């Protein structure tokens, strides 16, 4: 029986509606949460992401502004901008779009963001708060993964969870969130021995390694829940054929789009996993939409925490 497809886009829309309602409540108290996005230079992919974040901010009623330093900006230039944003009370969240140009020290810049305004959840103080289960700002993509699981009524406590990938942005915080939710967690990486065997033990498998279609059917326990965090652009027809060739009868429309555009987005999970897993997030339309929704949520959370109150947790409806 094919896997149940977990609709991340619908869940993201639900969360954005909840955030918009909270923004309206705050407006009655004359508080309008504010988000500042810093985009250095002209990275086309980053520009697309930032446009989406700014658009979403306006849709839920946040105040937002975009800062676009030149691609020749120095570390000191960016640090000066961050210092100014830290001081401004109407700015509750600061997002520095990565990657930064090579001459800019990314670690120094991210460390300079006030942890109370760190809506990406990357600052070591927020990492520490997450690891000790104290209130703080949680990285958006892993937080979105947890929302998908909870809102899809997939139980976590007592389950074996495997996270493939150990990045500071996704893998590590996802593992910590699962551990905090009482899962038994294994984190895998390039040195893991018998990776397929380890993955096959998982009731919940999180793929976050950045390699198109690497997680194949033999990595997955029948009936497991598979969350695909990967977002990989495929332009090589041979790679497309490797991923979809055996299932083209189910992917005729996707092949048509690939031939017309010359590219397609695929996750880290091979399409054949849909024949093994019990539940699966698609790419696109799975985890991706949750990242921006949780950024909106974090901005409102930052606004309320900075003012000594708390924002309700997203509902589980």
Please report the DSSP string for 123-181 in residue order.
Answer: SHHHHHHHHTT-S----HHHHHHHHHHHHTT---TT-EEEEE---TTTHHHHHHHHHHT
3-state class (DSSP) for residue 100? coil
Give CA–CA dist 239/44, Å, rounded: 24
Enumerate the active-site residues: 53, 97, 120
User: Residue 139: which of 156, 151, 125, 127 has the closest Cα?
Assistant: 127
Between strands 232-234 and 264-266, the pairing is antiparallel
Structure tokens at 294: 């949780």
Whether 262 contacts 104, CB under 8 Å: no
User: Residue 170: which of 189, 194, 195 has the closest Cα?
Assistant: 189
Whether 89 contacts 63, CB under 8 Å: no
Structure tokens at 150: 């909870």
SS3 track for 36-84: EEECCCCCHHHHHHHHHHHHHHHHHCCEEEEECCCCCCCHHHHHHHHHH
Residue with token string 């109370």: 116
């Amino acid at each position: 029986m094919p896997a149940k497809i977990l609709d991340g886009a619908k869940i993201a829309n639900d969360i954005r509606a909840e955030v918009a309602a909270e923004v309206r409540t705050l407006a009655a108290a004359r508080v309008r949460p504010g988000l500042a996005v810093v985009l250095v230079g002209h990275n086309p992919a980053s520009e697309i992401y930032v446009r989406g974040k700014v658009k979403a901010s306006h849709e839920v009623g946040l105040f937002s502004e975009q800062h676009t330093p030149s691609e020749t900006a120095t570390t000191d230039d960016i640090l000066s901008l961050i210092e100014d944003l830290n001081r401004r009370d109407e700015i509750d969240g600061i997002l520095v779009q990565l990657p930064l140009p090579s001459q800019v020290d990314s670690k120094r810049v991210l460390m300079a963001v006030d942890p109370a305004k760190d809506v990406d959840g990357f600052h070591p103080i927020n990492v520490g708060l997450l690891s000790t289960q104290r209130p703080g700002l949680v990285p958006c993509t892993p937080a979105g993964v947890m929302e998908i699981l909870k809102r899809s009524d997939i139980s976590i406590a007592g389950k074996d969870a495997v996270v493939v990938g150990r990045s500071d942005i996704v893998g590590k915080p996802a593992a910590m969130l699962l551990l905090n939710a009482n899962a038994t967690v294994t984190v895998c990486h390039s040195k893991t021995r018998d990776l397929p065997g380890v993955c096959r033990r998982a009731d919940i498998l999180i793929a976050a390694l950045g390699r198109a279609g690497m997680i194949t059917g033999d990595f997955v326990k029948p009936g497991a829940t598979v969350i695909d965090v990967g977002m990989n652009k495929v332009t090589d027809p041979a790679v497309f054929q490797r991923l979809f060739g055996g299932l083209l009868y189910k992917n005729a429309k996707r092949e048509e789009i690939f031939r017309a555009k010359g590219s397609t987005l695929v996750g880290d999970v091979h399409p054949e996993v849909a024949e093994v897993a019990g539940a699966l997030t698609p790419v696109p339309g799975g985890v991706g939409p949750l990242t921006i929704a949780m950024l909106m949520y974090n901005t409102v959370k930052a606004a309320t925490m900075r003012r000594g109150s708390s924002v309700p947790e997203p509902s589980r409806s």
